[in-house]
A and B are shown apart, each in its own frame.
Chain A
Amino acid sequence: METAYLIETIIKIVVVLLVFSALAGIGTYFERKVLAFMQRRLGPMNVGPYGLLQVAADGVKLFTKEDVIPQNVVAPIFKIAPVITAATAFMAAAAIPFLPQFTIFGYTVHPIVADINIGILYILGVMGVGLYGPLLGGMASANKFSLISAARGAAVFISYEVVTGLSILAPIMMVGSLSLIDFNNYQAGGIGDWIIWTQPVAFVLFWIAAFAETGRTPFHLIANDHEIIDGFGTEYSGMRWGLFFIGEYANMFFMSFVIPLLFLGGFGDGSLLGALGLLGKMAFFFFFFLWTRAAWPDVRPDQLMWLCWKVLMPIAVLNILVTAIVLM
């Protein structure tokens, strides 16, 4: 392995980490603002112009807050759980091409940390490992609500992961590759080539499962504030709780990148317009995560499991069958 490649990869990792940690903070600002506007409120206004520095104020608060380890918790697991959530969220980013390749000072940069040939499988797998954060954190917390949250997390995880996997199978059969770069190149011809036109069902299923994957509002039952306090986050304070938060928001951003890359043409032919297009699509999907939080009610855990197992999974299997027959 040559040194240049190593250095380049390390720089890319650092950039991804920094950019998406910052984006996670700014994401909370956007969430507050969008939710406030949709509810005829102003949102944060006092810290900085239009409340823009609220993120910094929250960061200072999280960093300086005492890191409480309650008495009866299983301390090592309790301490490691938030790290799992945040780390797996960022690890999943390794196989996502955020931009098309571009040349800077005569050096071609591929804005993907590692173009592995099992990209989408790796992303789904690592995001799946992220479940251990809420699960272990909830079980180690010595708190009833955290325990309920952990149990819900496990039940919900099994349900939506089936739908995610099965819904993505049909597009994979069409493209014949698991790499997100190959997915992008398959759809590079323009809007007519987007997989959403040939796989609308898979697109909707994957999108629904993405809400369960990131634990956003219609399926926000792992940490449902009005039922089980903050679920697995109840006993956490300070930066450990902040790590859960960063993990959640980073996950939202990465899902917002993965959905357009899979179904909506990604960055297209790799031009500047295509790159901006990918960022625009990402912004829409991220906005949609916030939008649904303002508009939709939460479902019960049993309703989510009913939805995943009895409705979405049969549809996904049918979709695979139909795709296979058509491809033959």
Chain B
Amino acid sequence: MEQFNNRNVSNEYFLVDIEDYPTDGWGKFKRVVKRTFRAELFVGLWVVLREMVKFDIHTVSYPEEKMPIGPRYRAVHEMKRLWESDAERCIGCGLCEKICISNCIRMDTKIDAESRKEVSEYTINLGRCIYCGYCAEVCPELAITHGGEYENASDQREHFIDFKTMLTPLETMKAGTQLEFEGFGAITPHEDERVKKTPLAY
């Protein structure tokens, strides 16, 4: 146990040597002279001049250039479609509405002509959403996920988005370019190999 408590894992750690403050006038005078002629100001001047000459600019000129964001990034929500039938994945179970801690999801369902449950109303109030990712995590069908679109400036603070705008467009489905979300609630890689048959013979 003791070896774990010892945090000095490297020999390079050392205590900073802090000089005592001078107490008498002569000591203060010596400190002033030492600080004056140690030329630290010129070290500072050299450092900034070196950076200027090296011209190693770190600015990302944002609207033209954008930083790559990770696939797990949680930005504005998306509704996915089924790969096989292009039908929407959402089954209207209402779990996302239930788990949403900022109460920004509202949904209404109805029974459609084929007596299947269908989502009739679905809105997310982006003004309230805190992008926690619980809805994506709780969704049993991987239907609601987060996307990578973070530019959602709008002239209205409470900018509702509805089911239609979140759904993957059919053209994207035809092109086969719908991207699966890799963040909360996503299927882990090689999940197929670990799936077992449901034991029915109880």
Interface residues of A (CB under 8 A from B): 34, 37-42, 45, 291-292, 294-296, 311
State in angstroms the CA–CA spacing of A34 and B45 once bound together: 13
- For the complex of A and B, the 9 pairs showing the least CB-CB separation, nearest first, are A295-B44, A38-B48, A42-B59, A37-B52, A294-B48, A295-B48, A40-B58, A38-B52, A295-B45
Complex Cα distance, B130 from A38, in Å, reads 37
Contact (Cβ within 8 A) B57 A296: no
Contacting B57 at CB < 8 Å: which of A34, A40, A295?
A: A40
B91-117 Cβ-contact flags toward A at 8 Å (1 or 0): 000000000000000000000000000
> Beyond the given A38-B48, A295-B47, could you list 11 further A-B residue pairs with CB under 8 A, ordered by the A residue number?
A37-B51, A37-B57, A39-B51, A40-B51, A41-B57, A41-B59, A42-B61, A45-B61, A294-B48, A295-B44, A295-B48
Q: Mostly helix, strand, loop or mixed at chain A's interface?
A: helix
Which residues of B in the span 48-100 have a Cβ within 8 Å of any Cβ on A?
48-49, 51-52, 55-59, 61
Given A37-B51, A37-B52, A39-B51 in contact, is the A292-B45 Cβ separation under 8 Å?
yes
CB distance from A265 to the nearest CB of B (A): 24
Total number of A-B contacts with CB less than 8 angstroms? 37
Chain B positions within 8 Å of A, measured between CB atoms, are 32, 41, 44-45, 47-49, 51-52, 55-59, 61
Assembled-state Cα–Cα distance A39/B61 (Å): 15
- Report B146 CB to chain A, min CB distance, Å: 31
Nearest residue (CB) in B for A288 is B45
For A37, list chain B residues within 8 Å (CB): 51-52, 55, 57
What are the residues of chain B within 8 A of A291 when measuring CB–CB? 45, 48-49
Taking a contact as CB atoms under 8 Å apart, the answer to whether A34 and B59 are in contact is no
B58 engages A41 (CB within 8 Å): yes
Write the nearest CB–CB distance from A103 to chain B, whole angstroms. 40
Chain A proximity of B33: nearest CB distance (Å) = 10
Cα-based distance from A135 to B60 in the complex (angstroms): 41
Report the separation of the CA atoms of residues A294 and B32 in the bound assembly, to the nearest whole angstrom.
24
* Residue from A40, A42, A292 with most neighbouring chain B CB atoms (10 Å): A40
| Residue pair B58, A34 in contact (C-beta under 8 Å) | no
| Complex interface: chain A residues within 8 A of B47 (CB) | 295
> How many angstroms between the C-alpha atoms of A294 and B47 in the bound complex?
10
Q: How far is the CA of A40 from the CA of B57 in the complex (A)?
A: 5
Across-interface contacts of B56 in A (CB, < 8 A): 40
By beta carbon, the residue of chain B nearest A293 is B48
Q: Which residues of B contact A292 (CB under 8 A)?
A: 45
Task: A295 to B59: give the CA distance in the assembly, Å.
Answer: 20
**Whole-angstrom CA separation of A42 from B44 in the bound complex:** 20
What are 29 A-B pairs with beta-carbon distances under 8 A? A34-B52, A37-B52, A37-B55, A38-B49, A38-B51, A39-B48, A39-B51, A40-B51, A40-B57, A40-B58, A40-B59, A41-B57, A42-B57, A42-B59, A42-B61, A45-B61, A291-B45, A291-B48, A291-B49, A294-B48, A295-B41, A295-B44, A295-B45, A295-B47, A295-B48, A296-B41, A296-B44, A296-B45, A311-B32
Chain B residues near A34 (CB-CB < 8 A): 52
Bound CA span A241–B49, Å? 31
Q: How far is the CA of A45 from the CA of B59 in the complex (A)?
A: 11
Q: Which residues of A contact B49 (CB under 8 A)?
A: 38, 291
A37 to B48, CA, bound (A): 9
- Which chain B residue shows the least CB distance to A43? B59
In the complex, A38→B47 CA distance in Å?
A: 9
Report the separation of the CA atoms of residues A42 and B57 in the bound assembly, to the nearest whole angstrom. 7
In Å, the complex CA distance between A166 and B65 comes to 55
In the bound complex, CA of A41 to CA of B57 (Å): 5
B54 to chain A, nearest CB (A): 9
